[in-house]
Chains A and B, each alone.
Chain A
Amino acid sequence: MNKLLIVARKELRGIVKTRNMLISVFFAVWFSVMTAPVVKTTGSAPIYAQFDNLIFYMVLMLGLFVAYLFTGLVFSNEKREGVIETLLCTPLSLRDLWLGKVVGVTIPAYLIALLTAGLITVIGNIGSPILVLPSPPVVFHIILVVPAFIAVAAGLMGFAQLMLGMRENRILNLVIFFLVFFPLFFARNAIRGYTLSWFVIGGLMALALILLAVIRYLTRYLSKERIVTSIA
C-alpha cells in the first residue's frame, strides 16, 4: 500500500477512537438541532435562501472547526511526545508524512461536515409543508468547496505545527481561534439573507485552489532539521 495511505489510514483510525470524534459528532448534532428549525420560523427572506445560507455557513464552519481539533491530535501530539523523530527515520518522505496526515484529518472532518449537512436538511424538513433542499451551488459547495477548505486548514495548521516550536504553536492555536473562528461565527449575520450564487461559490472554490497551491509550495520549506530542533 502507498505509504501516504498507510499514514492516512492510521490517523483516520486513531481519530475515530478519540474523545474529539465524539465531541465533533455532538457539535454536529447540537448545532443542527439548534439551528435547522429556525429556517421555518424566519419571515425576512425566502425559506430556500435562508436554508441555503444556514447550510452553507454551518457545514463550512463545523468542518473547519473539526479540522482544527483533529489537526492538533495528529501533528502536535506526535511532536510533543517525540514520536516524530523516529518517523522521520523511516523510508517515509516528509511530504508523504505531512500529506498522509492531512488526508487523515480531512476525511473525518469532512464526514462530520456531511453529517451536519444531512442533519440540517432532515431536521429542517420535519413538519415542513414543502420539501426544502440545498440549491445546486450549495450542493457544489458541500461536495467540493468544503473538503477543499478543510484540506487547506489541515494542511496549513499541520505545516505550522511541524515547523514551529511547541510554545509558538500554543500561541498560534490561540490566534487561529480568536482571529479565524470568532470572525467566522459573526460572519453568519453578514451573509444572512444573501443569495448564494454560482459566482460566490465558484469564487470560494478558486480561493481554496489557490490556497492549496500555496500550501503545496510551502511544503518545500518543510525540513527535518527544523522539525527535530523544534521538538519540545
Chain B
Amino acid sequence: MKEIEVQNLTKRFNGKMVLNDISFEVKEGEIFGYLGPNGAGKTTTMRIILGLLKPTTGKALVFGEELGRCDELRTKVGVLLEHDGLYNGLSAYDNLDYYAQLYGLSDGAERKRKIEELLDFVGLSDRKDDRVGKLSKGMRRKLGLARAIVHEPEVLFLDEPTSGLDPEAQIMVRGLILQLSAKRGVTIFLNSHDLDEVQRICMKIAILQNGEIKAYDTVENLRDKMGEPRIEITLSDSKYADKALKILNSLDSVSDCEREGSGLTVVTRADTQSSTILSALMENGIGVEEIKRVTKSLEDVYLDIVRNGREE
C-alpha cells in the first residue's frame, strides 16, 4: 500500500523553478531516503508533502490525501525537521507532554506512561526534568525524535536527523530509526545528504539534483544499473603495465582500461568474467598478483549524478 505519493510535483518561488515535475511513492513500512546536495529541493519537497507549502502544480498525498487540508490526518504523521521543534524554556518531559496533548493523548496517566517509556527509549530518563536549553545537541536530537513519535505515528518524516551529531550519537539515532521501522512498522521518509546513513538504513532512495529526480530505486538496483562492472588488477611487476593496458584495451569484453599506479582498473561489459581478463594477461606472460571485482558504491553513483547535473 502506498502511504506517500508524489505526482508530477512542481514548485516555483518568485518565478524560479525549485522542483520540476517530480514523482515517487513510498510504500507501507519502507525507509525511503531522499538524497541530494544542499539546495536541491529536498526540504521544499518535504514541506509540500507536510502541507506547509502549496505546490505550483502536481500533488503530494499521504494516505491518499493532502496533509495541509486535513488536520486530523496529521495525527498519523510524525515530524522531525531541521529544528527539533522543542521549547528551550520547558523541561524534556513538559515538551513531550505538550506535543502529546496536541496529538490528542488526553488520558493523563496513559500520557505519563507513554512519555516515560519514550524517554527511556531514547536514553533520557535521567534528564527528564532538565530544561531543553541545557541539553547537548545530540540529546536534543534524540528528544526531538521522541517528540516526533510520541503519538505513535504511522509515517515519520525526518529531515537530516543526524546532522551535526558526534559519531556515537549518530549511531544511536540511526539505531532508533531502524528499531522504529523493524519493531513498530513505521514508514520513514528520510531527507539526507549523508550517503553512508542512507546506504545503511534505507530500502529505497531517490536522488534529487537541481529540483529534478535523477535516480529512483533500491540501493542495490541503483548500484547495478548505474555502476558499470569493474575489475581491479595489481600486476606482479609494474614494468608490464603498458603492455597489459594495450592487451586489455584490445579485448571485446573490455570497454575501458586505465592505469592507476602499479595497477589497472578495467571496465568490462556486463557478462565478462574475471577469468577471461586473467587468461588474456597470463597467455601474454604478464604475472598478476591480485585481481578483484569491484562494486560501485552508492557514493560513486551519487557523485556521478551530482557531477553530471552540474555539467548540464
Contact = CB atoms under 8 A, between A and B. Distances in A.
Nearest to A3: B102
A85 B75 CA distance: 16
A14 B292 CA distance: 64
B47 A81 contact: no
B81 to A, nearest CB: 6
A88 interface: yes
Contact of B85 (A18, A87, A228): A87
A225 B52 contact: yes
Interface string A196-232: 0000000000000000000000000000110011000
Contacts of A3: 102
Interface in B13-59: 13, 47, 50-54
Interface stretch (B66-74, B231-239, B269-277): B66-74
A225 B75 contact: no
B54 A225 contact: yes
B50 A89 contact: yes
Given A90-B74, A92-B71, A224-B68, A83 B83 contact: yes
A208 to B, nearest CB: 30
B74 A228 contact: no
B85 A83 contact: yes
Interface residues of B, number: 34
Interface in A68-83: 81-83
Contacts of A87: 85, 102
A83 B87 contact: yes
A10 interface: yes
Contacts of A225: 52-54
A89 B52 contact: yes
A83 B86 contact: yes
Given A1-B106, A90-B99, A81 B52 contact: no
Interface residues of A, number: 24
A85 B81 CA distance: 8
A81 B54 CA distance: 23
A74 to B, nearest CB: 11
A17 B91 CA distance: 13
B260 interface: no
A6 B98 CA distance: 8
A89 B83 contact: no
Contacts of B157: 89
B77 interface: yes
B104 interface: yes
A128 interface: no
Contacts of A228: 47, 52-53
A85 B99 contact: no
A87 B87 CA distance: 11
B52 A88 contact: yes
Contacts of B71: 91-93
B88 interface: yes
A89 B50 CA distance: 7
B309 interface: no
Nearest to A87: B85
Chain A CB within 10 A, most for which of B13, B47, B54, B147 = B47
A91 B83 contact: no
A41 interface: no
A86 interface: yes
B191 to A, nearest CB: 14
A195 to B, nearest CB: 46
17 contacts: A1-B101, A6-B98, A7-B102, A10-B98, A14-B89, A82-B81, A82-B85, A85-B83, A89-B51, A89-B52, A91-B71, A91-B75, A92-B102, A224-B51, A225-B52, A225-B53, A228-B52
Given A81-B83, A91-B104, 12 more contacts: A3-B102, A6-B101, A10-B98, A14-B90, A82-B82, A85-B52, A86-B83, A86-B84, A86-B85, A91-B72, A91-B103, A229-B13
Interface of B: 13, 47, 50-54, 67-68, 71-72, 74-75, 77, 79, 81-90, 98-99, 101-104, 106, 147, 157
Top-5 shortest CB links A-B: A86-B85, A82-B83, A89-B79, A91-B74, A90-B102
